[in-house]
Chain A
Amino acid sequence: MQAFLKPHRIVLFLIALALVVWCATTMNWTWLANPKYQAMAVEGLWRTIWLTVVTMVIGFLLAIPIGFAQAAGPAWLAWPARAFCTVIRGTPLLLQIWLLYYGLGSLFPGNPWIRDSVLWPYLRESWPYALVALSLSVAGYEGEVMRGAFKGVAHGQLEAAKAMGMPRFTMFRRIWLPQAVQSVLPTLGGETVLQLKSTPLVSTITIMEIYDVAGRVRRDTFIIYEPLILLAVVYMILTALIVLMFRWFERRLPTRTA
């Protein structure tokens, strides 16, 4: 608190406050009172959070085998895994999303086997493509991180497990995986923020998340700046929440610091 109350900080804070008050009073915020937009905003916010959380979980689960294949797998598994990571990390996410949505989306209707399958009602919508594209993106980036984490587990630990006659899968489950996961946990917060910041890309394939809601409000009301400013504030709050959550989470983990 002491560090916060320096004279120049108070002045800067007052200037910032004046700016906020100026924005709140002189700009056009009447659209916020419209219940239609309120409902859309809540739904959009929920979709953004849902997409971030679900794709992070799926992506991370995919990243474990991808990282392990690169770190310890045979060449015929390591090479495809490495190629997958290179392609995902080397091309823009927007391009990947469009390839899946427009490319696969144009291929599926011509295939009677898919048209008759139970999945067809889902494949006609756009969210499965967004979910797959965002998950694969996490898998590619995290797969590379997990490769390093699996390689970073101390060799003595694995040798000790082998010497005790532990079966290979038990060794992976009890020794290798937990230590690798623990070593990447501090980076997960940053990755989640990056993932949150990639979600607006799926608005280009007609998914109504919070970025798309702001766009709709702008198109409907011809108000240019206000929805964008509020949108930026919403993302800042979401980012702050993610950072705080992971900080809290990290503090609960037992760590040994030298």
Chain B
Amino acid sequence: MACPPPSQISALELLGFGECGWGISLVWGLGNSIVIALGAYSLGFLIGIGGAFGKLYGGPILKDLLAAYTTLVRAVPELVLILILFYAFTGALNEILLSWGYDRIEISPIVTGIVVLGLVQGAYQTEVIRGGILAVPVGQLEAARAMGMPSLTMARRITLPQMAANALPGLANLWLNATKDTALLAVIGFSELTRATSSASASTKAFFVFYPAAMALYLIISLTSTLLIGRIEKWARRGQRDVRT
């Protein structure tokens, strides 16, 4: 069945999952966006924890290298970094594979997106987590050391739980950034929510149906995240005295 021209289809039908609707492509884009945001954020968190401990307790060379990493990444627009890393990451990987005698591989765009945005997130999270660790009372760490606690146990039992409450507002902001930064992958042609929206609206000319719908989807992500983060923060701050009382 051929669809009637888009101008004769109602907005609800355009957004729907029917034969003439773009619902499936939008939901697929949304799913891609969420998967990339989650992956990039998790990768960034691993880099951030490692980077923060490296910056605080690492050797002089490690400290300088991490300082260069966080400064460079935070000074260059994400879009430029995505382009550089997008070509460098796939190019370097293929060059290594070729030199070892393997064939070229095509890396899935999702993996590339996660790695690239994860490296960007890592730089910002390093700084936030470092600040969170610095705000842990020194006496706590001294006490743990005086008790002869091994440093890994100390990180797991003392530093990280107390750091969590201090770093959460910053980390929450970075999560919201991660969800919005997935839109940048639209520029390199990856079909996440923003790209799906733009192609749907370009072929139907129903700009004021698809863009507000996509905005609503992004808003739903950010509002539910804010709600969840509020709960997590309450949990992380358990046992802390309320400043107001």
Contacts and interface: CB of A to CB of B under 8 A. Distances in A.
A139 B88 CA distance: 36
B78 A95 contact: no
Interface string B67-103: 0000010011111110110011001000000000000
Chief secondary structure at chain A's binding surface: helix
A229 B85 CA distance: 11
A8 B62 CA distance: 10
Interface string A81-94: 00000110111111
Interface in A67-116: 86-87, 89-95, 98-99, 102-103, 106-107
Interface stretch (B43-51, B205-213, B234-242): B205-213
B80 A8 contact: no
B138 interface: no
B32 interface: no
Interface stretch (A127-135, A169-177, A193-201, A250-258): A193-201
A14 to B, nearest CB: 13
Interface residues of A, number: 38
B198 interface: yes
The CB with the most chain A CB atoms within 10 A, among B64, B75, B84, B176, is that of B75
Contacts of B215: 87, 91, 95, 99
Contacts, number: 110
Contacts of A38: none
B61 A86 contact: no
A232 B64 contact: no
B64 A94 contact: no
A228 B187 contact: no
B64 A12 contact: yes
A130 to B, nearest CB: 14
B214 A235 contact: no
B194 A235 contact: no
B5 to A, nearest CB: 16
A256 B207 CA distance: 52
B194 A239 contact: no
B218 A235 contact: no
B197 A235 contact: no
B75 A228 contact: no
B154 interface: no
Given A90-B219, A94-B194, A95-B215, A12 B61 contact: yes
B186 interface: yes
Contact of B80 (A98, A225, A228): A228
Contact of B79 (A89, A91, A95, A200): A200
B65 to A, nearest CB: 8
Given A8-B64, A87-B219, A102-B207, A94 B80 contact: no
A129 B65 CA distance: 40
B222 interface: yes
Contacts of B184: 92, 94, 201
Interface in B97-124: none
Q: Which 5 A-B pairs have the closest CB atoms?
A: A92-B183, A103-B207, A90-B222, A197-B77, A239-B75
Interface of B: 60-61, 64-65, 72, 75-81, 83-84, 87-88, 91, 176, 180-184, 186-187, 194, 197-198, 201-202, 205, 207-208, 211-212, 214-215, 218-219, 222-223
